[in-house]
A and B are shown apart, each in its own frame.
Chain A
Amino acid sequence: DAGVTQSPTHLIKTRGQQVTLRCSPISGHKSVSWYQQVLGQGPQFIFQYYEKEERGRGNFPDRFSARQFPNYSSELNVNALLLGDSALYLCASSLFGYTDTQYFGPGTRLTVL
């Protein structure tokens, strides 16, 4: 079975632009979470979705938004990019949410110039 997939792999944007990152969960998984990982640090929680509804939101500004589609795939949108948004963005899927094993994708490396 395919694991969690994310696209694109790498992305370069300039300050003020907008970006959309995509995630496809493992087949049968209904929960998707997004994390931001800055170099040298552990991942920081951004959002969790379960059955297309937001279940949790981390301490990120409103420039960050996400949604989950009927096929359980998800998009993360970031508006008005700042240099500090440069990071590895990770998507995780699980069957039901936070009570079971989280499976991570390879991530999208975002560079903001």
Chain B
Amino acid sequence: KQEVTQIPAALSVPEGENLVLNCSFTDSAIYNLQWFRQDPGKGLTSLLLIQSSQREQTSGRLNASLDKSSGRSTLYIAASQPGDSATYLCAVVTGFQKLVFGTGTRLLVSP
């Protein structure tokens, strides 16, 4: 059974810092990995999708890497801003047609 873990569970940083969020998964047989952002009480916003054959993806200040063999992904956020405050979720796609989510990292960026 695929299990996804995200560390840390919560993170508080001052504005401007670069930060790294971690995601690990137990079964390396994944099709892809997706990072999402969720604001309180809201739906999920897709940030980045990494296919299993890729090593990383970049979008603006965000960079996500994938090491499938070790079951790890990281989301790097450069020059953090208060508007980045949200919960960040990673999810992997298995052969059972579904996303398996971690429990998320709650990020607070202070001005």
Task: Give chain A's interface residues, CB within 8 Å of chain B.
Answer: 4, 6, 33, 35, 40-45, 48, 55-56, 58, 88, 90, 92, 97-107, 109
Q: Which residues of A contact B98 (CB under 8 A)?
A: 33, 45, 48, 56, 58, 98
Q: A104–B93 contact, CB under 8 A?
A: no
B108 within 8 A of A: no
Q: Which of B31, B43, B49, B104 has the most CB of A within 10 A?
A: B43
Given contacts A101-B34, A102-B34, A102-B46, contact A42 B103 (CB under 8 A): yes
Residue of chain A at shortest CB distance from B47? A101
Known: A98-B99, A102-B99. A42 touches B43 (CB 8 A): no
The answer to whether A106 and B102 have CB atoms under 8 Å apart is: no
Chain B nearest Cβ from A3, distance in angstroms: 9
Lowest 7 CB-CB distances: which A-B pairs, in order?
A42-B101, A56-B97, A45-B98, A104-B44, A106-B43, A104-B43, A98-B93
B97 with A55: CB separation less than 8 A = yes
A106 to B31, CA, bound (A): 25
By the criterion CB–CB under 8 Å, are B49 and A98 in contact? no
